[in-house]
């Protein structure tokens, strides 16, 4: 793949997941055996990306610790005769370069992406939201398809979108797709619209490819009513400038797992645990037993 750079914004406070996130980042919560960010890095590494910038904030340093090569831990495992556990640390050696920068203030997703300007330079780059896993056990190559669409269409932005129930449109950025193919041009997009104002029920799903033109667009984007700079509003400016923005639909088997609130976090954890190749079978028996019990 020609694009190697990924930006993962992880500065959000995770208040919807309190108390679990009081002293740990929501992106480090486990889903099955791994923390959420590890799924994201592995997904994008499979698509050929090898330079990752985390846009972090206060209290997020355990993300940096997780991706270090921990020589002490390796030695302890070896000396304790626990060599079999070393395979659990193979992700430390993906051949990836990690970079970290901090968003000084909580000024929204657009502002977080602007922190990546120096890292991205004049190259196109991928954005992967730190609270979304795509595809069960991250088996998704959607970013590879996004990059292909971005390049073949000569676009300045390519976005993965997923269908959501109409009553949930106000929770997402919603696109106005031109046509009903799997790859389409986006005519407009609105961040968290009311049901009446939503141009469709296709929601921005946490994976994007951008040309560096997005940085200038973010700088020209004003603050919204919450004092935040929305990435969706900056993409809208690209459209106003006559630039091409394209979308790719996520098929059902490649759905997005949102970790931003307890309902979807629990659902995701349960689905990943029940389908775990080692522990899944026993858990499925337990789940069947429990579902026969009165609550
Ligand atoms: C962000 C984006 C939104 C997108 C959503 C899910 O919202 O602003 O456009 O639909 O992620 O990927 P957030 O969930 O951070 O409020």
How confident is the model at residue 100, as a pLDDT?
Answer: 95
- Give me ligand 1 centre to Cα 74, in Å: 38
Asked whether residue 72 carries a pLDDT value surpassing 90, the answer given is: no
How confident is the model at residue 274, as a pLDDT?
Answer: 94
* pTM for this model (two decimals): 0.93
Q: Which two tokens stand for residue 132?
A: 């979304």
How confident is the model at residue 6, as a pLDDT?
Answer: 97
Do 56 and 134 lie in one domain? The reply is yes
Do 145 and 238 lie in one domain? The reply is yes
Average pLDDT over residues 32-48: 93
Lowest-confidence range among 62-76, 118-132, 208-222, 234-248?
Answer: 62-76
- The band of 1, judged by pLDDT with boundaries at 50, 70 and 90, is low
Task: List the helix and strand counts (H, then E) for the chain.
Answer: 10, 13
Q: Are 233 and 110 in contact (CB under 8 A)?
A: yes
Asked whether residue 138 carries a pLDDT value surpassing 80, the answer given is: no
Asked whether residue 236 carries a pLDDT value surpassing 90, the answer given is: yes
Do 252 and 282 lie in one domain? The reply is no
Highest mean pLDDT among 60-69, 94-103, 112-121: 112-121
What proportion of the chain, given as a percentage, has pLDDT over 70? 99
The CATH code of the domain that includes 30 is 3.90.550.10
Mean pLDDT across the chain, nearest whole number? 92
Do 268 and 181 lie in one domain? The reply is no
Average pLDDT over residues 167-189: 94
Do 295 and 215 lie in one domain? The reply is no
Q: How many CA atoms lie within 13 A of 193 on its CB side?
A: 20
Counting the structural domains of the chain, the total is 2
Do 34 and 126 lie in one domain? The reply is yes
Q: Residue 257: CB within 6 Å of ligand 1?
A: no
Do 150 and 294 lie in one domain? The reply is no
Q: Residue 28: CB within 6 Å of ligand 1?
A: no
Do 142 and 267 lie in one domain? The reply is no
Provide the residue range defining the domain that includes 285: 261-295
- The band of 91, judged by pLDDT with boundaries at 50, 70 and 90, is confident
Pocket test for ligand 1, best of 8, 206, 250 (most atoms within 8 A of CB): 206
Q: Residue 109: CB within 6 Å of ligand 1?
A: yes
Using DSSP, state whether 35 is helix, strand or coil. strand
Do 24 and 36 lie in one domain? The reply is yes
Do 128 and 97 lie in one domain? The reply is yes
Q: For residue 219, how many other CB atoms are within 10 A of its CB? A: 14
- The band of 139, judged by pLDDT with boundaries at 50, 70 and 90, is confident
Do 291 and 193 lie in one domain? The reply is no
Do 168 and 200 lie in one domain? The reply is yes
Torsion-angle region of residue 26: left (phi > 0), alpha (psi -120 to 50) or beta? alpha
Q: Residue 47: CB within 6 Å of ligand 1?
A: no
């Amino acid at each position: 793949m020609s694009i190697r750079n990924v930006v993962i914004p992880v500065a959000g406070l995770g208040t919807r997941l309190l108390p679990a996130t009081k002293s740990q980042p929501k992106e480090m919560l486990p889903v099955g055996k791994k923390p959420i960010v590890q799924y994201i890095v592995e997904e994008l590494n499979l698509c050929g990306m090898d330079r990752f910038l985390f846009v972090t904030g206060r209290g997020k340093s355990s993300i940096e610790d997780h991706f270090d090569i921990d020589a002490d831990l390796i030695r302890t495992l070896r000396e304790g005769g626990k060599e079999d556990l070393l395979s659990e640390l193979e992700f430390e050696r993906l051949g990836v370069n990690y970079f970290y920068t901090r968003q000084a203030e909580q000024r929204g997703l657009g502002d977080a992406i602007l922190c990546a300007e120096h890292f991205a330079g004049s190259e196109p780059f991928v954005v992967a939201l730190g609270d979304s896993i795509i595809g069960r056990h991250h088996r998704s190559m959607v970013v590879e398809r996004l990059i292909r669409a971005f390049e073949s269409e000569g676009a300045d932005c390519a976005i993965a979108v997923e269908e959501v129930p109409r009553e949930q449109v106000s929770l997402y950025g919603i696109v106005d797709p031109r046509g009903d193919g799997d790859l389409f041009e986006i005519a407009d997009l609105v961040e968290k619209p009311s049901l009446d104002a939503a141009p469709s029920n296709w929601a921005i799903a946490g994976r994007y490819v951008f040309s560096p033109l997005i940085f200038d667009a973010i700088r020209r984007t004003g603050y919204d009513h919450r004092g935040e700079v929305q990435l969706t509003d900056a993409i809208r400016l690209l459209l106003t400038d006559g630039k091409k923005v394209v979308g790719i639909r996520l098929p059902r088997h490649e759905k997005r797992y949102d970790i931003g609130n307890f309902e979807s976090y629990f659902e995701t954890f349960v689905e990943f645990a029940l389908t775990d190749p080692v522990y899944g079978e026993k858990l499925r028996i337990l789940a069947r037993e429990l579902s026969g019990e009165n609550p």
